[in-house]
């Protein structure tokens, strides 16, 4: 049974842990605020750009682009965006589970490319690890992500791979995210989707400059935007998950401190009571 000295040490240790978890929660909350603003600003642009490309490419006749062409190559690249640090609840483990299921269900030969090491460490036995990208700072900049996107795109254009997928956590709220695997290249549409768009827009648009010039400029930008938005989603989801985890840890620390304090007070009260009984018993024996 623990004595008062041991309980004091445990309380002191738990209070130290509480200071750390509280500080980490505040840091994550500040980072989440910035990341949330970034993804909420970027997501509508990326979505509208993707929809525009789909619509225009479906309506324009006799147009083709290397990013739209389906390949018979069964080799594909899978870019996984996770964190370099832990203490963020199920952020990495849930994404790793999603990626493992995708790998097992896929008939393609997948090459793994990684931003962040945590999921890589969890799935490296299930996929060939080709490269882990490194950056000047913990969170990559837009220009660094352009370099990553272009490196993978060059392999696609050279015919080394037939598809590019990106796996990441979609930010939904500070306490919610959705692990996702999405194809970013080729940006091809099924014939049914094309027919739906043609029925929805039974007329042609007027273009300035030409449709080819517009699409040639926008299609690569759409691809890069999809990669970068995935990163922003992953960053926001990571900070939200870590803030939530540290909040739970802080609550658990406070609860543990309360329980240990009550237990210590009970032991102290019992010791005082015992001493009083011994004093009274001694006095009674002297009087007797």
Structural domains present in the chain: 23-244 (3.40.1380.10)
The token pair at 14 is 């738990």
Task: Identify the CA nearest to 177 among candidates 253, 84, 244.
Answer: 244
Calpha distance 207→248 (Å, rounded): 55
Calpha distance 88→250 (Å, rounded): 14
Positions of the chain with pLDDT under 70:
1-2, 203-204, 288
pTM here? 0.87
Calpha distance 24→245 (Å, rounded): 10
Q: What is the pLDDT of residues 7-39, one digit of tens each?
A: 999 999 999 999 999 999 999 999 999 999 999
Residues in the chain: 288
Task: Identify the CA nearest to 25 among candidates 138, 177, 139, 174.
Answer: 174
Q: What is the pLDDT of residues 178-197, one digit of tens each?
A: 999 999 999 877 777 777 77
- Parallel, antiparallel or unpaired: strands 128-132 and 109-115: parallel
The token pair at 12 is 């002191």
Burial of 100 (0-12, 13-18, 19+ CB in 10 A): middle
What average pLDDT does the structure give for the chain? Answer: 90
């Amino acid at each position: 049974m623990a004595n008062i000295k041991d309980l004091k040490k445990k309380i002191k240790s738990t209070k130290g842990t509480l200071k750390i978890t509280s500080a980490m929660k505040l840091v994550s909350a500040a980072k989440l605020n910035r990341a949330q603003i970034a993804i909420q600003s970027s997501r509508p642009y990326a979505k509208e750009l993707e929809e525009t490309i789909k619509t225009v490419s479906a309506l324009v006749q006799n147009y083709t682009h290397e990013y739209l062409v389906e390949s018979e190559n069964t080799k594909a690249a899978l870019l996984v965006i996770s964190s370099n640090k832990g203490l963020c609840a199920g952020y990495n483990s849930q994404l790793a589970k999603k990626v493992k299921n995708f790998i097992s269900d896929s008939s393609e030969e997948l090459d793994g490319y990684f931003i962040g090491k945590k999921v890589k460490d969890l799935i490296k036995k299930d996929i060939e690890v080709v490269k882990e990208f490194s950056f000047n700072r913990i969170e990559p900049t837009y220009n660094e992500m352009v370099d990553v996107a272009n490196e993978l795109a060059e392999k696609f254009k050279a015919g080394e791979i037939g598809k590019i997928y990106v796996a990441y956590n979609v930010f939904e709220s500070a306490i919610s995210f959705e692990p996702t695997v999405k194809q970013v290249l080729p940006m091809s549409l099924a014939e049914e989707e094309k027919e739906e768009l043609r029925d929805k827009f039974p007329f042609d648009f007027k273009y300035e400059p030409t449709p080819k010039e517009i699409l040639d400029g926008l299609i690569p930008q759409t691809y890069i935007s999809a990669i970068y938005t995935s990163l922003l989603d992953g960053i926001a989801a990571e900070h939200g998950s870590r803030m939530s985890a540290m909040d739970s840890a802080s609550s658990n620390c406070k609860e543990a401190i309360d329980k240990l304090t009550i237990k210590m007070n009970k032991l102290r009260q019992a010791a005082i009571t015992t001493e009083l009984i011994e004093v009274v018993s001694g006095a009674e024996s002297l009087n007797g």
